[in-house]
Structure 1
Amino acid sequence: MSLSFFWSREFLTNRYFLWLLFWCNALGTVYGYIWYGDQLVDTLEKQPLWQIVFVPDSPTASLFFTLSLLWILYKPKSQWVNRIGHVIQALAVVTSVKYGVWAISIIFAGWSQGNAAAWQDWMLIASHGAMAIEALLYVRFFGFRWVALLIAALWTLLNDAMDYTYDIYPWLPYTLWDHVDLVRNFTVVLTLLSILVSWLALRQAKRS
């Protein structure tokens, strides 16, 4: 058995593997929201209620991907349900790539500024790396097109605007507190690159 089998359609769309991936992502999503617990409480105490939806970035990206797997497992007959699914799939790809790379980059940036490494950092690096990789692996099995991708792009850019306008961005390592402007600029550039990568991956998927 060659290594290429593990990213083949036969392996990646096997229902047993899809269910395994679904539950891994579902549990990771729940853990992610728990991880954001203190920031969610802090936001509810200090910010308007409507801003809460923009706080838990990575868990929401993971939630989008988890839901996207259901559209592979159970293909809806309704056109409208499919359209909703396509938007969720586009959001899954853009946000998983963006926040997967973002979290890893911020951890390494914090280390470079003197933040002490902890075992949780390695866990986050592994889990967020997996987020980005699985999104790019599964884009070819998703049914979204450029309209859904545009909606996902606008939502992700809106999320950036909310994060850095109202200071509800993910809490940073203390060594980066004086570099929020640089983090903001990096985040917006990363969003644009994630949109571009998602579009290129979608084009490649349509050719294959």
Structure 2
Amino acid sequence: MWVVKLGGSLAGEAVLRDWLEMLAGYGGGQVVIVPGGGPFADQVREAQDGWRFDDGTAHRMALLAMEQYGLMLTGICPELVPADSRQELLGALRAGRVAVWLPTKMALAADEIPHSWDVTSDSLAAWLANHVSAERLVLVKPFAPAQLEVEAEEMSRRGMVDRAFPAFVRSGCFQMLVLGKQQHPALKRLLLGSVCRPIEPGFFVPRTR
């Protein structure tokens, strides 16, 4: 099983459809998509800035923002299956489909997930990858990184991922890849099994100390 986190920054990009069609066409039975928050999460941040409500409330709203983005993905590509439980995720994969995770129910039931902005969709994707024993976690970002390897702590320091991300990575047993928004053909090749380990520029395997 592979967990692929599609960043919310792709919400306004034409390449989003290419990602969805590729994953639906070649990831059936093995891919779970974790949606970012995108413009929906931006609205949560704006509302919190204006009304000063607590981070716990904002966390719940941000989870729902991810669900809105996830439902948008299934609307764009109806071959994708929305799923809000482990049973539904695994059921979609057993049926040869690609699942889109709707995180609210599972995330709120997990005591180890802090209710704060320290945890965003990147950490939630890492948590899910560990929870479902995924082989790989793929983060799709706006730009391809220059380095082939970088530590998760360094990613967090650079603002590429949230503060809690390194801790969630340390608790996992999966390989991790980070791709730029135009690198869907590279992931297609990996899904087809033509490459056993990423070696081309734009890939890196984050590590923890």
Calculate the TM-score normalised by the size of structure 2. Answer: 0.32
Higher fraction of strand: 2
More helix by share: 1
Larger of the two Rg values belongs to structure: 1
**What is the TM-score when the length of structure 1 is the normalising length?**
0.33
